[in-house]
Amino acid sequence: MRTRMPLNQSGMSLVLILVITGIIGLSAVSIMSMGDRKRKISQQMNISVSASLVKQKLVGMVLSPQSWQATQAHNSSAFASFNPASPPTLDIYTPDSSTPFYQPSNSHAGFDLKGNPCSNFDLSGNDNCPLRYDITLKSRVFQNSNWIDTLHFELTFKPASTGLILNTTASQFTFDLVRNLNDQSVESACISINGLYDTNSNSCSVKITKTASTCGSGQTYRGPASNNGANNCDSKTIAPAACTGSQVIKGFSQTGNPICGSPI
């Protein structure tokens, strides 16, 4: 019968060290793997937040009466010669600058991951300028004395790092925006009463009087009561008025006769 020799103390310690080292190694790999997954998830969330920030900036400018007026002025030829078969690209302006805030007509215009405009967007990929919005005038409809413009926003995401992914075709990033007057805004209220809207002060001025009509011989002007200028003249004439003696005219009766009285 063979007798098993027990391991000595040094042999047992070596086995324990190997086992513990293996466990630590596996734990480290697992922790690193979890950290990498968390980092990728966080990175993807940051990209989505950045794209949403860019969208909010551009949409906010389009919906702002002041910025939209400046954008229309600087893109006047695009609006004037609009052709739905070939939608023009619109550069977006702030009201206080002749330089566009964002210029999609430049193929290298884009945004960085902080939401700031950049000028080195590249279809081959650039981590420093990976976001780009193409903004085109999709349609124009003249309705109720106002233009209703539909703009198409299309997002492109081209980073150099292959691990960065964003679904740019999602409806939250690529969409149509109808730019119509807000019924509650000063701008729309001003236009509805044929006033002059001032974008700088967000105020409206309205001419409340009409130009006095030139009345013919023997007619008197009775005020701006009608839109038809000719109808503002009264054909009833007032006979020459005079009072006798030292009396003076104090007024006229409803029939047009003078009311005479003492000068005191």
pLDDT digits (tens, 9 = 90+) for 197-226: 776 677 788 776 655 556 666 666 666 554
Asked if residues 253 and 259 have their Cβ atoms less than 8 Å apart, the reply is yes
The whole-angstrom separation of Cα 97 and Cα 162 is: 37
- Kindly state whether residue 51 falls inside one of the protein's structural domains: yes
* Average pLDDT value over all residues in the chain: 79
58: containing domain: 29-180
- Kindly state whether residue 176 falls inside one of the protein's structural domains: yes
Q: With 90 as the cut, is the pLDDT of residue 190 above it?
A: no
Q: How high is the pLDDT of residue 146?
A: 78
Determine the angle formed by the axes of helices 9-63 and 65-74, rounding to 10 degrees: 70
Please count the helices (runs of H) and the strands (runs of E) in the chain.
4, 11
Q: How confident is the model at residue 139 (pLDDT cuts 50, 70, 90)?
A: very high
- Kindly state whether residue 220 falls inside one of the protein's structural domains: no
- Kindly state whether residue 203 falls inside one of the protein's structural domains: no
Q: How confident is the model at residue 258 (pLDDT cuts 50, 70, 90)?
A: confident
| Mean pLDDT, residues 81-91 taken together | 94
- Kindly state whether residue 142 falls inside one of the protein's structural domains: yes
Around Cβ 230, how many Cβ atoms within 10 Å?
Answer: 11
The whole-angstrom separation of Cα 21 and Cα 2 is: 33
Asked if residues 179 and 141 have their Cβ atoms less than 8 Å apart, the reply is no
**Residue predicted with more confidence, 16 or 71:** 71
pLDDT tens track for 24-62:
666 665 555 555 555 555 566 689 999 999 999 999 999
Q: Please tell me the pTM assigned to this model.
A: 0.56
Number of structural domains found in the chain: 1
- Which residue blocks in 114-249 are alpha helix, DSSP H? 186-192
Q: How high is the pLDDT of residue 168?
A: 93
- Kindly state whether residue 160 falls inside one of the protein's structural domains: yes
- Kindly state whether residue 174 falls inside one of the protein's structural domains: yes
Query: Residue 85 carries which DSSP code?
Result: T
Side chain identity, residue 133: Y
Q: How high is the pLDDT of residue 83?
A: 92
| Mean pLDDT, residues 97-102 taken together | 91
| Residue 70 in tokens | 């400046």
The whole-angstrom separation of Cα 143 and Cα 5 is: 101
DSSP string, 2-45: --PPPPPHHHHHHHHHHHHHHHHHHHHHHHHHHHHHHHHHHHHH
Distance of CA 102 to the CA centre of its chain: 13
- Kindly state whether residue 7 falls inside one of the protein's structural domains: no
